[in-house]
Structure 1
Amino acid sequence: MKRKLTVAISAALFSVACSSSEPMQEGMAEVSSPVAQSTQQTAYQGSERGQANAREQRESVFSMQQIMADPDWIGRAPENAYWSWDGRSVLFSRKREGSPQRDLFQRPLTAGGNGSQVALSALHAHAYGNAVENSDGSLHAYIFERNIFVLDASSGEVQQLTRDSQNKTSLQFLRDGRLSYRIGNDIYAISLANGFTELVLSLQTQDAPEALKEPADILAREEINLIEYNQVQRRQRQERFDDQQALAANNSSLAPEPFYLGSNIQVVEVSLSPSAQHAIVAVTEPQSWRGEGDLMPRYVTESGRIENQNVRRRVADAKPVNHTLYWLDLNTGEKTELSYESLPGFDEDVLAAVREENYAAEGKTYESKNAPRAIGLMPGWSAPEGNIVWNENGSAVALMLRAWDNKDRWIATIDFASANLVSQHRLHDEAWINRDFNAFNWLPESNSLWYLSEESNYSHLYVKNLDNGNVEQITDGRFLVDNVTLSQAGDMFYFQGNVEHPGIYEIYRVSVNGGDIEQLTDLNGMTNYSLSPDETRLLLTHSSPLQPNELYVQEIRNGSAATQLTETVSAEFESMPWAEPEIVQVPSSHVDDPIYSRVYLPEDFDPNRAEGYPAVVFIHGAGYLQNAHGGWSGYFREFMYHSKLTDLGYVVLDLDFRGSAGYGRDWRTAVYRQMGTPEVEDLVDVVNWMGEHRNVDVERVGTYGGSYGGFLTFMALFKEPGLFKAGAALRPVTDWAHYNTGYTSNILNLPQDDMIAYRRSSPIYFAEGLEDALLINAPMVDDNVFFQDSVRLVQRLIELEKENFETAIFPVEPHGFVQPSSWLDEYRRIHKLFETHLH
């Protein structure tokens, strides 16, 4: 049976728990869903023996072994779903039972069940999930196992174009109907009519060959003049060079001359225009991702010996990365460097105030001066549409650029007449530019660009007409726009957004000319989408707090409801009496916006019980992540553990502290130069709120979290002694100067510029504040947060003569645990910590 809990996603307090009559905030949704009803009561007993018996009984329902087992028992949810070419079925991957491998499944819309596995012999004909289309959408090209295939969208016929072992990328239909692709630093084009393949562009990372070099010095000059053999060799080299040059000039059958980019150069990106007349290339000086001298020993190995593994460099060792941009004219062979000097702010000292503060702390004076900044293409993972985008006919190109200091993002076009970059949009942030919400592209058949920007605090859609410079904001409000799809006609934007509630994501559309937003789905929870080939339906991936992702389909018309396609959750999982969280808005004592949190209550929760409840606060990892939402959490083991805790009489809360995703730019950047300060303030607020509104005994509250959550566990215990009686820090960061560059430099700048921020934000500098019970769980082969982080903190605690801490090591685990036995051991230790200090 299912036990009933009503989950109110609202500003109001839980009406059953409190007598508050605070009205529901306008515009908030109310979600009610049945949850499993337990056959056993978890009523608190008056004696310790009664409590122990209740816990023992509960072990049969929520055993730690089951919670931490291989998650296959929950079900194997569909992943990476996409439409079939004809829109009659959907395809998706599923984890293979008992294995990390994935298999492809196909499920016709008219059939029941979870579809059937695509045969290995047919995989090549179904691997078009990321296909590129020609101008009229009649042909879809894609890569399967390094080879190129083309699907005819009118018949479904698949043609294989290559059969070799060379890795191919960057598929693109050209305006003349050919298909281009990249192998290494070369771009080829293949004719679909006759299969003729030609080299279109070759990039050489070396200096251009010269006929004869002048003698290097006086000795070389004398040697050439003196020795006849040297003279003959030079003359023959010159003849070969002259013949090759003449042949290339007079014989059209030869491949085009390569573009020479210089030695000690690495190609970052190359983009060929649809007309195949031009290309844009970004290059940089090569840098190793490895840190100098940084090795991670592995103690449990097949060889029986200690083996060392190279690991990434630390932010303290980071060096600026600058990209040099070239515009290549494939007709003339000209290579033109594009200067950044036309970008507004290209030489600003954006860190002047930070450097002045740090210099002053050392008794020095900083003299600010303008100098060119390191600038390059926005990383590919930040710009879903790509960071170099051409218009349809290849006559114009737009690039997304980012300053290496993380303070600026530009969208620029190229004036081919003057060979200059033209800034079309500058997004400046005193903190840092987001890694998300960087999609941009051209509107079809117009000289207009659309793009996402956080300039209004939230990610919204904008359109700029390049002919007159007018910019129109298409969406507006306290919500995020993401995963944008432009309709084939170019008249509608489809997007995913959290319009009604920060934790509920639905699908919407809006005209490219602006106007009212139309809500297309109403599923509550977390919903993402893919448009059908004919744009009449949505393929939806949806989850709720108690249901992992499943697939749905919905017609795009008023009043349509979504139909569920897959049911992959196991009966065993569904039969369990999981506690469904209530999403609440905890008022902040520091900012106007509330702290959205998930709250789990015991089944027989009594707001008037004389004895307050013990409580646990879970702190999510990643920092910039959203967990207090209405969907299935990526922390599914933690969710199950929280149900176990509620059955043992705990109240559990997990919060989206400041710095979390989903709530706009200001919430995200609140942690700039002070990681661990606003988040701990939020932890204080949620503990006090639980005491006032959920009958929690604030003297019996514990906390735990991994990675960023482990870091915040340290900061809370070190900076706010007594807030938590016990805390477990898992795979924790202790010193941000030892973490990676991409994440850390955004928030804290570089140690050499801003050591104040690193000392302010790193737990190792506050270890003397430890008074409460601490458990440190540290994986030893963690190449994300190094084991050294925990080792250095333990040494610091020893030197401070702290007693109330324990350390558990996990010899074979990386940052994300893999072995069920390790998960079990870790959570047994966490549970023992809480039972010992909170009960």
Structure 2
Amino acid sequence: MKSIQLMVLFVATLFSATAQQKITVEEIYRGEFRAKGMDALQSMKNTNQYTVLNSDRTSRSQQIDLYDFATLKKVATLLDTKSHTDLADGIDSYTFSNDEKQILIANNSNPIFRHSFTANYYLYNLNSKNLTKVLENVQEPTFSPDGTKIAFAKENNLFVYDIATKNTTPITTDGKKNAIINGITDWVYEEEFAFVRAFDWSSDSKKLAYIRFDETEVPQFSMDMYQKELYPTSQTFKYPKAGEKNAVVSLHLFDVTSKVAKTVNLSNYNDFYIARLKWTNDANIVSAQVLNRHQDNLDLIFVDATTAIAKVVLNEKDKAYVDVTDNLTFLKDNSFIWTSEKDGFNHIYLYDKNGKLKNQVTKGNWEVTSYYGFDEKTKTVFYQSVENGSTVRDVYKISLDGKKKVRLSSQTGTNVATFSPDFSLFINSYSSVSVPTTYTLNNAKDGKQVQEIVNNNALADKLKKYNLPTKEFFELTTEKGHKLNAWMIKPKDFDATKKYPVFMYQYSGPGSQEVANNWLDTNDMWFMMLSQQGYIIVCVDGRGTGYKGAAFKKCTQKELGKYEVEDQIDAAKVIGNYSYVDKTRIGIFGWSYGGFMSSNCLFKGADVFKMAIAVAPVTNWRFYDSIYTERYMTTPQENASGYDDNSPINHVSKLKGNFLLIHGTADDNVHVQNSMQMIEALVQANKQFDWAIYPDKNHGIYGGYTRIQLYNKMTNYIKEKL
């Protein structure tokens, strides 16, 4: 009897060790697998401290807490919403004045597009502890360097608020919806140059530089908003499609004291972009990055605020395109640090104040992926790179002369640093495909860990019962000889003697990366769920993706969707020949650029792919915006075949497999027009397919139960069609 009990116990133990609790879409999109982080982590500038926005669920309050970098101990709670009924709705974001004695707090934010929003703003004085509502429904309020004023935008005009007098002075008055914008970017700049605030203070707080957008001639785009009203409303905004007219931009200077405005003479440029604006350490010189429309010529210009005359201090050209950099850093003498991929890889350069190259700081067949800062005391540059492989990220420091390089991160995976103001310490966020994000305090001298701050051990323990499979990284070589980064997730009970269906995922856009050694996101958890249901999941980064050098990234120039599609089809053929893969059951999925790709792969690779899901896809490059599309394709007038040969809408007659097309009607980025015209093309080609339209949902297609319904729909489609 005892031996039978032992046998039962052994079998039960074995079962519990190997049993796999099933993941559900509901769990994923309710946030059950979300990792803990350090919200709104900000390094202070004047003290060796940092702040974090914490939440107290019991009291439904938020706190801006101040911590000491060296000890990690909380020094003070700078503000607690419990004490301020005006902030009962919470803190959306916060910024400090330069002297860090005032905080500007945003709440009741209302999104406009991807990055832009309006909000109400409260000014909190850390000495007096007074909280005052100062601005309502405004954009991008920014302290002057001396902390006495706040510049902001409202309804397409710029203003300055004087904190002491509480007076507001208009800088511009000609702002008008869908016509003139002052100090805030238009839709296409916001989306493709990824910035909203198009104004900047001089270092002496006396002047403002700003960009003005005249979008009068830009064609309009309208979206119907259905909501729950009897009649839909229409949202209309200016959207320049490839080859169409862009906003005419101009650069202006405003003297806050004299209230005199000047226009910078940029008459030597025609049909151009002002992609960045930044004041130098010299209060009389402002810098701007000016790109031609093809984006293959970039000038860094310095503008003399007295004369409003611009001079070119640095020029970069490229046969394909020049990337705008956010890493322009001015040193005390106005020499500057700049990142560029002019030698074939993205690296750090030092120039003198006149734009003469002093030194290339980093070198090698690898990319600098983030520039963290420069320590004036030790003349040391801190950065992140892919020096140890394009799928991992490490933190480094190096002397300005390019010597004394030290690797500060030690674990293989993704390391992201936040440095203390004196660069003596840094908070390292580390994760890998098998380790959820961990935050540690590290010494910037040698990178050694001082102390752990936040871990996700509880999440790791929680996931044990799901007995997740491993995401395996490998290099896939196509028959044409292209070596591509890839990962694969096999079912946990994988049996090499069986044949499995394969579901491929990719994004594939220029400079992007999906094959990276970091912790699992929500898509990964969905893929893990699919693996539990007997699917092998594969992701391949084809040519045109990032972090392997400019030649690999830019080889798709003028032919978006040609080589990337070729690589996905060729990768699927290689995978289809694995002994454990059923080559008749390969599917592919993607969103946005990935949706463009999955559509093209199913049509052009009709004998390779059995099914595809395309979410919010570009179906014709002629429908997409000017800045993004022309960067890689020039204009449709110049490159008609590049546009048409690679747009899936022109290949619908080749469809053989199962196709699911999904789009949101309020997608301001990739308009639902793309899918509507694709649907009509498929109908006229007499092709059967499936589609789902999400009313009033933007490019992200989320809100309420939307993601749960969407991912259940896609899951069911995969199970039915693959």
Question: Which range, TM-score by smaller chain?
Answer: 0.7 to 0.9
SS in structure 2 of the partner of residue 401 of structure 1: strand
Cα distance in 2 for partners of 1:641, 1:206 equals: 50
| Residue 719, structure 1, aligned to residue 604, structure 2 | yes
User: Which aligned pairs between 1:172-251 and structure 2 lie closer than 5 A?
Assistant: 172-174=144-146, 179-184=148-153, 185-187=158-160, 195=164, 203-205=171-173
| Residue 66, structure 1, aligned to residue 27, structure 2 | yes
* Residue identity opposite 2:693 in structure 1: I
Cα distance in 2 for partners of 1:516, 1:111 equals: 29
User: Which aligned pairs between 1:767-806 and structure 2 lie closer than 5 A?
Assistant: 767-803=652-688, 805-806=689-690
Cα distance in 2 for partners of 1:473, 1:266 equals: 37
Q: Is the 8 A contact 1:458 1:477 kept in 2?
A: yes
Cα distance in 2 for partners of 1:163, 1:675 equals: 49
Q: 1:133 deviation in Å?
A: 2.9
Gaps of 5+ in 2: 1-13, 107-120, 185-197
Alignment equivalent of 2:235, drawn from 298, 309, 314? 309
| Residue 171, structure 1, aligned to residue 143, structure 2 | yes
Cα distance in 1 for partners of 2:606, 2:374 equals: 52
User: Which aligned pairs between 1:134-533 and structure 2 lie closer than 5 A?
Assistant: 139=100, 141-145=102-106, 146-149=121-124, 157=127, 164-165=134-135, 167=138, 169-174=141-146, 179-184=148-153, 185-187=158-160, 195=164, 203-205=171-173, 266-267=182-183, 269-275=198-204, 280-287=209-216, 292=220, 294-298=222-226, 301-303=227-229, 305-310=231-236, 313=239, 315-316=241-242, 318-326=244-252, 337-340=263-266, 372-379=269-276, 387-391=277-281, 393-414=282-303, 420-434=309-323, 437-444=325-332, 446-466=333-353, 469-481=356-368, 482-489=370-377, 491-533=379-421
Q: 1:744 deviation in Å?
A: 2.4
User: Compared with structure 1, are the counterparts of its residues 604 and 81 closer, same or farther at alpha carbon in structure 2 (3 Å cutoff)?
Assistant: same
Cα distance in 2 for partners of 1:127, 1:308 equals: 28
Q: 1:484 deviation in Å?
A: 2.8
User: Compared with structure 1, are the counterparts of its residues 197 and 774 closer, same or farther at alpha carbon in structure 2 (3 Å cutoff)?
Assistant: closer
Cα distance in 2 for partners of 1:424, 1:678 equals: 37
Q: Is the 8 A contact 1:600 1:651 kept in 2?
A: yes
User: Compared with structure 1, are the counterparts of its residues 117 and 755 closer, same or farther at alpha carbon in structure 2 (3 Å cutoff)?
Assistant: farther
User: Compared with structure 1, are the counterparts of its residues 516 and 488 closer, same or farther at alpha carbon in structure 2 (3 Å cutoff)?
Assistant: closer
SS in structure 1 of the partner of residue 387 of structure 2: strand
Cα distance in 1 for partners of 2:360, 2:57 equals: 45
Query: Which residue is 2:9 aligned to?
Result: none
SS in structure 1 of the partner of residue 41 of structure 2: strand
Cα distance in 2 for partners of 1:303, 1:581 equals: 47
Alignment equivalent of 1:584, drawn from 467, 474, 481? 474
User: Compared with structure 1, are the counterparts of its residues 516 and 76 closer, same or farther at alpha carbon in structure 2 (3 Å cutoff)?
Assistant: closer
SS in structure 1 of the partner of residue 527 of structure 2: helix
Cα distance in 2 for partners of 1:411, 1:537 equals: 33
* Residue identity opposite 2:150 in structure 1: Y
Query: Which residue is 1:620 aligned to?
Result: 507
Cα distance in 2 for partners of 1:130, 1:158 equals: 18
Q: How many residues align?
A: 662
| Residue 131, structure 1, aligned to residue 92, structure 2 | no
Cα distance in 2 for partners of 1:38, 1:595 equals: 38
* Residue identity opposite 2:38 in structure 1: P
SS in structure 2 of the partner of residue 662 of structure 1: coil
Return the structure number with greater strand share: 2
Q: Is the 8 A contact 2:662 2:692 kept in 1?
A: yes
* Residue identity opposite 2:352 in structure 1: N
Cα distance in 2 for partners of 1:479, 1:294 equals: 44
Query: Which residue is 1:33 aligned to?
Result: none
SS in structure 2 of the partner of residue 461 of structure 1: strand
Q: 1:676 deviation in Å?
A: 1.4
Q: Is the 8 A contact 1:282 1:323 kept in 2?
A: yes
Q: 1:120 deviation in Å?
A: 0.5
User: Which aligned pairs between 1:751-766 and structure 2 lie closer than 5 A?
Assistant: 751-766=636-651
Kindly name which structure, 1 or 2, has the bigger radius of gyration based on alpha carbons. Answer: 1
User: Compared with structure 1, are the counterparts of its residues 738 and 556 closer, same or farther at alpha carbon in structure 2 (3 Å cutoff)?
Assistant: same
Q: 1:718 deviation in Å?
A: 1.0
User: Which aligned pairs between 1:528-567 and structure 2 lie closer than 5 A?
Assistant: 528-558=416-446, 560-561=448-449, 563-567=451-455
Q: 1:618 deviation in Å?
A: 0.8
Q: 1:307 deviation in Å?
A: 3.9
Q: Is the 8 A contact 2:510 2:553 kept in 1?
A: no
SS in structure 2 of the partner of residue 79 of structure 1: coil
Cα distance in 1 for partners of 2:530, 2:36 equals: 25
Cα deviation 1:203-225 (Å, max 9, x = unaligned): 34469xxxxxxxxxxxxxxxxxx
Cα distance in 1 for partners of 2:427, 2:394 equals: 13
TM-score normalised according to structure 2 size: 0.80
Q: Is the 8 A contact 2:213 2:248 kept in 1?
A: yes
Q: Is the 8 A contact 2:94 2:104 kept in 1?
A: no
Cα distance in 2 for partners of 1:88, 1:264 equals: 42
Cα distance in 2 for partners of 1:687, 1:317 equals: 35
Q: 1:530 deviation in Å?
A: 1.4
Alignment equivalent of 1:597, drawn from 474, 483, 486? 486
Q: Is the 8 A contact 1:106 1:118 kept in 2?
A: no
Cα deviation 1:138-197 (Å, max 9, x = unaligned): x5554224344566xxxxx566696533657232325xxx6443144344666xxxx578
* Residue identity opposite 2:643 in structure 1: Y
Cα distance in 2 for partners of 1:40, 1:373 equals: 68
User: Compared with structure 1, are the counterparts of its residues 90 and 692 closer, same or farther at alpha carbon in structure 2 (3 Å cutoff)?
Assistant: farther
Q: Is the 8 A contact 1:585 1:596 kept in 2?
A: yes
User: Which aligned pairs between 1:5-16 and structure 2 lie closer than 5 A?
Assistant: none
Cα distance in 2 for partners of 1:833, 1:265 equals: 45
SS in structure 2 of the partner of residue 71 of structure 1: coil
TM-score normalised according to structure 1 size: 0.70
* Residue identity opposite 2:214 in structure 1: E
User: Compared with structure 1, are the counterparts of its residues 541 and 65 closer, same or farther at alpha carbon in structure 2 (3 Å cutoff)?
Assistant: same
For CA contacts below 8 A with separation 6 or more, give which structure has more relative contact order: 1
Cα deviation 1:621-675 (Å, max 9, x = unaligned): 7654322111125xx3321222233333332111222332333333332332222
Alignment equivalent of 1:808, drawn from 692, 709, 713? 692
Alignment equivalent of 2:555, drawn from 661, 670, 684? 670
* RMSD, aligned CA: 4.0
SS in structure 1 of the partner of residue 40 of structure 2: strand
Q: 1:767 deviation in Å?
A: 0.8
Q: 1:742 deviation in Å?
A: 3.6
Query: Which residue is 1:351 aligned to?
Result: none
| Paired-residue identity, % | 18
Gaps of 5+ in 1: 1-36, 42-56, 152-156, 208-262, 347-371, 380-386
Q: Is the 8 A contact 1:398 1:413 kept in 2?
A: yes
**Quick check: 637-646 or 566-575, which moved more?**
566-575
Query: Which residue is 2:570 aligned to?
Result: 685
* Residue identity opposite 2:104 in structure 1: I
User: Compared with structure 1, are the counterparts of its residues 751 and 275 closer, same or farther at alpha carbon in structure 2 (3 Å cutoff)?
Assistant: same
Cα distance in 2 for partners of 1:163, 1:834 equals: 52
Cα distance in 1 for partners of 2:481, 2:299 equals: 30
Cα deviation 1:10-48 (Å, max 9, x = unaligned): xxxxxxxxxxxxxxxxxxxxxxxxxxx98476xxxxxxx
User: Compared with structure 1, are the counterparts of its residues 654 and 327 closer, same or farther at alpha carbon in structure 2 (3 Å cutoff)?
Assistant: same
User: Compared with structure 1, are the counterparts of its residues 581 and 479 closer, same or farther at alpha carbon in structure 2 (3 Å cutoff)?
Assistant: same
Q: Is the 8 A contact 1:82 1:92 kept in 2?
A: no
User: Compared with structure 1, are the counterparts of its residues 112 and 324 closer, same or farther at alpha carbon in structure 2 (3 Å cutoff)?
Assistant: closer
